[in-house]
Amino acid sequence: MIVTVLAFLLTLGVLIVIHEYGHYRVAVACGVKVLRFSVGFGRVLWRWQKAPGGTEFVVCALPLGGYVRMLDEREGAVPEAEAAAGAFNRKPLAQRAAIVAAGPLANLGLAVLLYAAAHWIGIDEPKAVLGPPVAGSPAEASGLRSGDWVRALSRDGREWDEVHSMTDLRWQITQAAMQRGTLQLQVSDRDGRGSRTLALDLAGFDPREVDAQLMRKIGLAGAFSEPVLGDVRPGGAAAEAGLQRGDRVLAVDGRPITDAQSLRETIRAGLRDGRPAAQAWLVERGGRSLELQVLPRPARDGELTIGRIEAFVGQPPEMVTVRHGPVEGLVLGTQRTWELSVLTVKMLGRMLVGEASLKNLSGPLTIADYAGQSVQQGLAYYLGFLALVSVSLGVLNLLPLPMLDGGHLMYYIFEGVTGRPVSDLWLARLQRGGIVVLLMMMSLALFNDVARLLGLH
């Protein structure tokens, strides 16, 4: 819990500081006087000012945002000489637009550097070796099998990109699903033999189904895992049957078992009319084959009654270290930032017109949870997570909504086209409407967070 809170505060602190520094740096470069640089809102906890009349830097109690307050005649009376020299509202339209756009662009630039740094450090990720495809899914229809190693993919059948890991594969599949496209996959067995080309058809996929369960809907339940037992709980069904840690399961009731996912499904189905049914297991232990009778115990899983043996089933998937050089890492960081920005805009657009579920909208609780998980997985994972949130923050702030940077840019576009600024009356109306929209979005995001924590989504 403490790690999660600290990781969340660090995430917010870094992203807010970079965002506001973008505004601040460009404002100073344009000759605008900056009165206050604030991280957070509410009661001031820390204050620093280099010289009287200079910028006041503060940290406030509520860390969910920040602001840069500039000298502006619209916010109060300003002496003429001071206004002429450094008031924001006196600056040319191009400079005002640049100051407003600098915050979101700073977040996108930070994401590029963070993704590049993660590539330079190297990330341990599951190898793109697939577990069994879900029955009746597009993955099964394509001809994918348990143990297939996806080596490369193509969207047009001519240009092929190497698949570095399972994470890389999932990202490419997500993009193809959003575009309702078809992916050509080059696969081999786990040892790299028997290369073949398959077509994963996602043309009929509904973009509204692009959510946390996307991979399972497509049929890719997870990475391949050997059917080997881990920790066995004393007194559980596995222990009573004589199973031990390290046992490799070869067959159950005469049916060969080739991966952990198949074994888990066999255990879950090990009941008859809700009552335990004995299973004949053939296992390998120390080079010898043993036959054991296993009696899964009934357990509740939501509304279902399933079988459990109270042992960890499956070895961790094979991992590969994905690392790139300085130039390639920077190029990939830029590419990933751009692709994620485009994907975010598409998802928001489809949520707006009802083509994607509003359940995809996440709030501070989800961010805090993922921040805690990523920081425990290592620096590279945390940098990647930080880059993801930085992209989201940058894109969201560019949306043409009043109260956001994109809303102000919308005003400036109007001013540039018509030659006059938006009237004070319309500014007030748009601000009120923007507040309502933002409150609705924040409420929905918080509801989704709570629903996820309670297992309702």
> In angstroms, how far is the first alpha carbon of the chain from the final one?
22
Give me the torsion for CA of 336, 6, 453, 339, rounded to 10°.
Answer: -10
20 is catalytic: yes
User: CA 26 → CA 33, 93, 99, 377, distances in Å?
Assistant: 11, 14, 5, 36
Q: How far apart are CA 247 and CA 169, in angstroms?
A: 31
Query: Amino acid letter at 93?
Result: L
In what helix (H) or strand (E) does residue 377 lie, and over which residues does it extend?
helix 364-377
- Using only C-alpha atoms, what is the Rg of the chain? 27
With tokens 């979005």, the residue in question is 441
Q: With contact defined as beta carbons under 8 Å apart, do 309 and 243 qualify?
A: yes
In SS3 terms, 20-47 reads as: HHHHHHHHHHCCCCEEEEEEEEEEEEEE
Least Cα distance to 373 among 388, 395, 357 occurs for 388
Other residues' Cβ atoms within 10 Å of the Cβ of residue 86: 21
Among the options 20, 73, 75, 125, which is catalytic?
20
Q: With contact defined as beta carbons under 8 Å apart, do 194 and 186 qualify?
A: no
With tokens 């894109």, the residue in question is 395
356-374 as b/e, with b when 16 or more CB fall inside 10 Å?
bbebbbbbebbbbbbbbeb
Provide CB contacts within 8 A for 330, sequence distance 6+: 112, 116
Q: How far apart are CA 316 and CA 291, in angstroms?
A: 25
Q: Which two tokens stand for residue 57?
A: 């830097």
User: Any idea which residues carry the catalytic annotation?
Assistant: 20
